[in-house]
Amino acid sequence: MCSMNNKPIGKIAVIASDLDGTLLLRQEYGEDFIGERTRQQLICAQQAGISLILASGRAYPKMLPFAKQLKMDHYGGWLVEINGTAVYDVKHGKRTVFHQLHRSAIHDLFTKLQAMEIEVIAYQDDSMYYQIPSRLIPLKQAYIRTHGLPKDHPLTAGGFSIVYDNRKGYPHQYPIKDASQLPETMNKICISDEPQRLHALHPLLDVYQEQIWWGYTTERWIEILPKGVNKRTGIEYCCRQMKTDLSHVLAFGDGENDIEMLKSCGFGIAMGNALDSVKRIAYDICDNNKNEGIADVIEHLLEPNGKEIFR
């Protein structure tokens, strides 16, 4: 049930959505997927003339399958990748890269995180470079055994669990010993640990705030990006290509990397499972992703007495 509270929504030209924790559902220890009700509603919205933008911390190889499930290759649509570092025109297969994170900018920070025994993962398109502290390896191995996961399951963490299999989106995965083995440029780096250990890192991360942006996507996952990069800037670029502006965008998100997007778009909706910091700045809050909160909102907008918003 969506808590829209009968708030007026103006003319919507674009629907923008985060993926993990927002659009996507996750099978336990399995694949991410779009709920069928949500998929159908977003296709209906495109048939009504609304364009779609998917905005994620993922790179385009891990976004394209969902774009195609939504028929964005037919209707036209855009991907905002890696929180705004690049965009991808789905219909024409054209990618534009705006920013990257340079090794020199995060070398010192990476070294300090490693000394504090924090798991660090760097992403570069279809590749991952990871450093897992020895203290975490027995915990990860026990998790794999306890949950009956395959013996060859990767030990790298995900945003929602201590281990996550990212091989489909990132087929090239490299363990590294120190920052010198990082690639010269990266899309982003992520750090994962228990919430209380991540909270203790805030003073350290703030030291580097002139060089980087950092924020939570889940309670156990922090993303680090080049300074000034966010989903808002990527969506703004896409809107210009579609001859519209942010005031006509209905956006959905759940993590701190969605805050700039939700604040700047005409109607920023936080998911029911969103972090409190996200809910505080949202125009409104819908149901959680497991209950397909996005579908509730789109169904509301597509009702006969609501169709005028699409004109």
Residues 273 and 181 in one domain: no
Domain boundary among 163, 191, 226: 226
Residues 95 and 234 in one domain: yes
Residues 205 and 294 in one domain: no
Domain boundary among 226, 246, 267: 226
CATH no. for residue 118?
3.30.1240.10
Question: How is residue 22 written in tokens?
Answer: 């927002």
pLDDT (tens, 9 = 90+) of the chain, 311 residues, equals 333 344 444 589 999 999 999 999 987 666 899 999 999 999 999 999 999 999 999 989 899 999 999 999 999 999 999 999 999 999 999 999 999 999 999 999 999 999 999 999 999 989 999 999 999 999 999 999 999 999 999 999 999 899 999 998 899 999 999 999 999 999 999 999 999 999 999 999 999 999 999 999 999 999 999 988 899 999 999 999 999 999 999 999 999 999 999 999 999 999 999 999 999 999 999 999 999 999 999 998 888 665 444 33
CA pair distance 294, 38, nearest whole angstrom: 6
Domain boundary among 226, 251, 266: 226
Q: How many structural domains are present in the chain?
A: 2
What is the model's pLDDT at position 168?
Answer: 86
What is the model's pLDDT at position 30?
Answer: 67
What is the model's pLDDT at position 306?
Answer: 55
Residues 245 and 305 in one domain: yes
Residues 253 and 306 in one domain: yes
What is the model's pLDDT at position 85?
Answer: 93
CA pair distance 48, 306, nearest whole angstrom: 12
Residue 34 identity (one-letter amino acid) = I
Residues 109 and 212 in one domain: yes
What is the model's pLDDT at position 305?
Answer: 61
CATH no. for residue 273?
3.40.50.1000
Residues 58 and 160 in one domain: no
What is the model's pLDDT at position 261?
Answer: 97
Q: Is residue 6 situated within a structural domain?
A: no
Q: Is residue 7 situated within a structural domain?
A: no
Residues 95 and 105 in one domain: no
Q: Is residue 2 situated within a structural domain?
A: no
Residues 61 and 83 in one domain: yes
Residues 202 and 123 in one domain: yes
Question: How is residue 119 written in tokens?
Answer: 């798991």
Bridge partners for 223 per DSSP: 190, 215
What is the model's pLDDT at position 307?
Answer: 45
What is the model's pLDDT at position 26?
Answer: 85
Residues 215 and 290 in one domain: no
Residues 220 and 142 in one domain: yes
Q: Is residue 120 situated within a structural domain?
A: yes
Q: Cα-flanking dihedrals φ and ψ of residue 148, to 5°? A: 65, 30
What is the model's pLDDT at position 169?
Answer: 84
Q: Residue 185: which of 123, 114, 111, 113 has the closest Cα? A: 123
Residue range of the domain that includes 243: 14-99+229-310
Verdict on whether the full-model pTM lies above 0.85: no
What is the model's pLDDT at position 229?
Answer: 85
Bridge partners for 81 per DSSP: 86
Angle among Cα 34, 172, 195 to the nearest 5 degrees reads 60
Angle among Cα 185, 32, 40 to the nearest 5 degrees reads 115
